[in-house]
Amino acid sequence: MLKQPAISNFDGIRAEYCISDFIVRASDGILVLYVPKDKVSDKAQKGFVSLKQLNNLQRKLKIEFDTSTEIVLLDADSLIKVGEGFVALLKSTFPDIITDARISFLNAHRVSATIVLSEFVDNSKKEAVEAFLTAVLTPAHIELQALQWDEVELPSLIEILTTTKKFQPVKLDNLYDFLSKDYPALRIGWLNKQLDKLIKKKFLIRERDTETYAMTALGLNLLPKIASRNSSDIVRALDLGRRKW
């Protein structure tokens, strides 16, 4: 059993400030107070404690009892389960572009989110995802404090063309195998969409009988101008508005 610190009415303080546990750190004698995040709110209210209240408590303990403290906010099982529910909603609503997501509760009413994308998406789709997440959080009285996008590395249209040229005529599965060696996150459905875009641009053709892809004259005339696979001129020519494709 932990020894109670030399603070009068410490049990009452624990109850008032939602302190679930404590330790006295042996290395420096600091009193570490643990508070579950699901008990922390932006403002003081019954059953919760605010960060401002916790800061005031630290000052009070220092002034009145000469006790230095450190507050540690603990992830609560209840919030973890709520966050998992939000992640499931995101993945089921946007299955084509969201691979995974992480919802981190800063307190009971604020979250930060990281969304892992399976492919390049334009700003309009990101805005749709953010709007959906906000709409889901709002009825639960939860504010989206920060949103980050984790975009996977995928081959450019240049690399898809040059790889097709190298192995043509090539089937989709084989092209996928070649490219996925350098891009583990590559999905065959995404690659198929990029090939369709290149066909529309008349850089590739698809033979129906053999289900293979090959370069067109336009594509072959384009590629020799590439000094490197990231040539800025070709990037502009091929990626001319991914948003338009």
pLDDT along the chain (245 residues), means of 10: 78 94 91 95 90 95 94 92 95 90 93 88 90 95 93 83 89 91 84 90 90 89 58 48 43
| Residues 115, 121: Cα–Cα separation, whole Å | 12
CA distance 218 to 192: 20
Count Cβ neighbours within 10 Å for each residue of 117-132 and write b for 16 or more, e otherwise: bbbbbeeebbeebeee
pLDDT at residue 97, rounded to an integer: 87
Give pTM, 2 decimals. 0.65
pLDDT of residue 1: 47
Instruction: Evaluate whether 10-74 and 77-151 have a shared fold.
Output: no
Q: What is the pLDDT of residue 123?
A: 86
Q: Is the dihedral of CA 196, 202, 203, 208 positive or negative?
A: positive
The confidence score (pLDDT) of residue 242 equals 45
Query: Residue 94's pLDDT is what?
Result: 94
Residue 33, both tokens: 């107070």
Give the pLDDT score at 229: 46
Q: Indicate the domain borders of the chain.
A: 10-74, 77-151, 157-240
What integer pLDDT is reported at residue 225 of this predicted model?
A: 54
Given this model, what pLDDT does residue 119 score?
A: 72
CATH superfamily of 77-151: Stage III sporulation protein AH-like (1.10.287.4300)
CATH of domain 10-74: 3.30.300
Task: Identify the residue whose tokens are 């699901």.
Answer: 38
CATH of 157-240, one of 3.50.50.60, 1.10.3470.10, 3.30.2350.10, 1.10.10.10: 1.10.10.10
